[in-house]
Amino acid sequence: MSKQSIWRGVIPAITTPFTDDGKVDHAFLARHARIMLDAGCTGIVPLGSLGEGATLGFDEKVAIMRTLVEALDGAPVIPGIAALSTDEAVRLARAAKAVGCAGLMVLPPYVYSTDWREMGAHVSAVIAATDLPCMLYNNPLAYKTDFSPGQLAALAAEYPNVQAVKESSGDVRRIAGLKALIGDRLEILVGVDDIIVESLQMGATGWIAGMVNAFPKESVELFERASQPGGVEATAELYAWFLPTLRMDTVPKFVQLIKLAQEVAGLGSERVRAPRLVLEGAEREAALREIRAAVANRPGR
């Protein structure tokens, strides 16, 4: 599968649905993923931070990958590969290859953050574990590990299957910095919802999106408009409508907020896995006001 076909367009960081008794709801997961593709999304990224990957066991992760591969009939499934240990991350990467995933989103290890020598060794082991195309995930706010443009360039030079980076530092200057260093060697995807228009103007070509789980059609429309010449002007009204909910992707309780938006929009349940708890009280009411306003005033109504 070519670099362009995997890494372009809107790719949901899909949430993990749970049943009343806390198990993964595979039937809804498959249905939800198909809804995303029917709206124009180009692939699915499970097992990321929005997918509550840190709360899922190894076997649960493999089962989720298998469900999505079987449900999506060839559309790319690109799981997040993260674990407490390098050994487990390598085993997960190999399992992803075995069940038919199209690529990997390679994360730093959970919890442990250190220097480039150790982080570089960790991600190198995961990248080398299979021949699958890989996207490196740079999210220093969440994982306390910041892959600089130079470090990303070094990995791209050593490993031909490193094809993309999910840039979630929140600093759109990183896009220009990386392009100045290595040109178009890596596809650059945005991992922060509320800077998507700005990032596309700087040269990003894909969006690993969060609030798409609740508003898939609007997310695809925003991306498509913003990707055209004059994108800032073309998206002005739509972006203004979307920004209050897109900003929910950037706060500590983004999982709870996006799942709540899914429930209000009729595309899922707000159930989360502990230690997360569903929102309540004034925090919940404030979120509901924004979400309900978005649903009531969504474009095309």
Residue 25 backbone dihedrals phi, psi, to 5 degrees? -90, 90
Other beta carbons less than 10 A from residue 39's beta carbon: 17
Residues 192 and 211: beta-carbon distance below 8 Å: no
The answer to whether residue 144 is catalytic is no
The answer to whether residue 23 is catalytic is no
Residues with Cβ within 8 Å of 6's Cβ and at least 6 positions away in sequence, in order, are 43, 76, 78, 102, 103, 133, 163, 164
User: Which of 137, 143, 239, 259 is flagged as catalytic?
Assistant: 137
β-bridge partners, 138: 167
User: Which of 61, 143, 166, 259 is flagged as catalytic?
Assistant: 166
Report the catalytic residues: 137, 166
